[in-house]
Amino acid sequence: MRVAFASGKGGTGKTLLSTAFARALADREPGRVAYVDADVEEPNGHLFLHPEKVTTTRFSVPIPVLVDGRCRGCGACQRFCAWHAIIALRNRVMVLPELCHACGGCIQICPDRALREQMRSIGSLSFGTTGGLAWHSGRLDVGEARSTPLVSAVLESAPEGALTVVDCPPGTSCPVLAALEGADRVVLVTEPTPFGLHDLDLAIRLCRVLGLPHVAVLNRADLGDGGVRDHLAENDVPLVAEIPFEREIAVAVSEGRIPLADSPALKEAVERLIELLESPGGPS
Amino acid sequence: MKQIAVFSGKGGTGKTSLVASFAALARRAVAVDTDVDAANLALLLPGEDTSEKAFYSGRRARIDPERCTGCGACRDACRFGAVRAVGTRFEIHTISCEGCGVCGLVCPVPDTITFEDNLAGTWRIRHTATGLLVHAQLGIAQDSSGKLVAHLRREAETLGERAQMPYLLIDGPPGIGCPVHAAIGGVDLVVAVTEPSVSGEHDLIRLLDLAEHFRRPISVVINKADLAPKVSTRIRRVCHGRGVPVLGEIPFDPLVPRLLAQGRLPLDARPATAEAIRETWKAVSEATERG
């Protein structure tokens, strides 16, 4: 079972909800739950979960490199590359590694077999544990452009058969798609502002395109207006819980704590999500 | 025309409300929303839009089911998992297809796999009270955000130069990846909006590293600074240690989300909030002039 926390808009409380949910779930079923931080551009889960016994490995993607002396400068690779990541010069090529999507096409199309693939490191993968909860995280190196392969890798690193909680990146494009891959359910964390509403609508449409069952949690529910609630009702998206703005939550978040003990509203939201997970039919 | 780009790393720190306030305070500016995944700036800068323009980027593969022999060469070659078996034939899962063309390269039956231009999103120009806004919407589940950002910036630059606007204000996307790279290149000043939390601080440091990587001058604004004064102090210390100026501190104001809900700017919030934003814009515009 894999539950993904997504939002469209950033800063709505995905990490707050997903870490609290994973923590509460692991307290009930120690050793069976994994938290996966799929926001590899800005991973934050560790700041709240404080994992121990952390192991980190480098993560690499293949890029083309020249085999000495073979290139005759025909330019087939440059013409083929959809991302303009390879420039043919006289008898050699220049590769722009940040632009390369690692499709392997240039290697295949080269008539002189002048290119081969070499692994290039773009970030790191870490795992650790925290009180019966497994923590898996990816971290893109600063200056790297393409996070999608690392998002997929961190999801694959999670143990099979675990209850997996995925903390998604914001947005609705490729890194989010990669993070939602294989999700059984999506929890959309939103807020009652026009921004929250606008981006929630995009996130709902994304879930529909992907055919993923989804529910919503409304964070800072008392700051803003009611538009989000109406929109959820009109779209038949169950609103599982509302969490008001509480200074206790803001303070805990500022200090890197999960305020399950300080905020009854957060605790209740998490319990409702767990109930939903355990219900046989689940959300529509 | 000076280009000021507002980023945050972490989402939800207040980039968009700050950019909209800057646009109002600048009096004349062209603004561009480069958070094309989830574009919100238009919600705060009302005005009249030009007609929607299509943005095509890349291609998507299509397999002719009549010609496909089911050999599976395309599936084996595709690195994006975009070729899926349907019965004895194969089909492209369009959402996963990145349009690289490798399937077409390996297919043994001519004209079986064809490529169509991909409609990645739409964009518009808006005439607002204080200038222009260039904004877009990336299609759901699209992968060309960096290219769309680059396109919007070129349009905004051309429009701004033509209208002799003093400022180009860029509302940046969250994160540090490809759309951010497209939005940060060549700007005169990066303004990093952070908030006093462990996440805000963590993501700010990555943004400072990114600005250094791209050799762009960066300054910091701490939003909701009074929510956790100790963390704000720590952030100021980090900035000081790296020689990064903190150009503004804006207090937490519960009125702000209520105003946003009415499409109003935080400049209408409590006097202390409005004053802090005005001071911040003054410092930002002066820092940009100094270069």
A55 and A144 both lie in a single domain: yes
Residues 144-163 of chain A whose Cβ lies under 8 A from any Cβ of chain B: 144-147
Complex ipTM value: 0.94
> How many domains, in total, are found in chain A?
2
pLDDT value, residue A283 = 46
Averaged confidence pLDDT in chain A: 94
pTM: 0.95
Domain extents in chain B: 2-46+129-290, 56-119
Domain enclosing residue A109, as ranges: 68-113
Closest partner CB to B43 (pick from A146, A198, A250) = A198
In a domain, A32, yes or no: yes
Q: Which CATH number fits domain B56-119: 2.60.40.10, 3.30.70.20, 3.40.50.2300, 3.20.80.10?
A: 3.30.70.20
Question: What part of B 126-155 touches A (C-beta under 8 Å)?
Answer: 138, 140-143, 145-146
DSSP class of A192:
S
Of A42, A147, A257, which to mutate for an interface test with B (greatest number of B Cβ within 10 Å)? Answer: A42
| Per-residue model confidence as pLDDT tens digits over A212-252 | 999 999 999 998 887 899 999 999 999 999 999 998 999 99
The verdict on B177 touching A (C-beta cutoff 8 Å) is yes
Closest CB from B43, B100, B143 relative to A174: B143
Q: Which of residues 61-100 of A touch B (CB under 8 A)?
A: 80, 82, 98
Domain B2-46+129-290 CATH assignment equals 3.40.50.150: no
Judgement on whether residues A153 and A269 belong to the same structural domain of the protein = yes
Shortest distance, CA B89 to any CA of chain A (angstroms): 22
CB contact under 8 A, B177 and A82: no
Q: Do B38 and A171 touch (CB under 8 A)?
A: yes
The single-letter DSSP state of residue B174 is: S
Question: Would you give the DSSP letter of residue A67?
Answer: P
Mean pLDDT by groups of 10 residues along chain B of 291 residues: 96 95 97 95 95 94 96 97 95 94 97 96 96 95 89 97 97 95 96 97 97 97 96 98 98 92 93 98 95 67
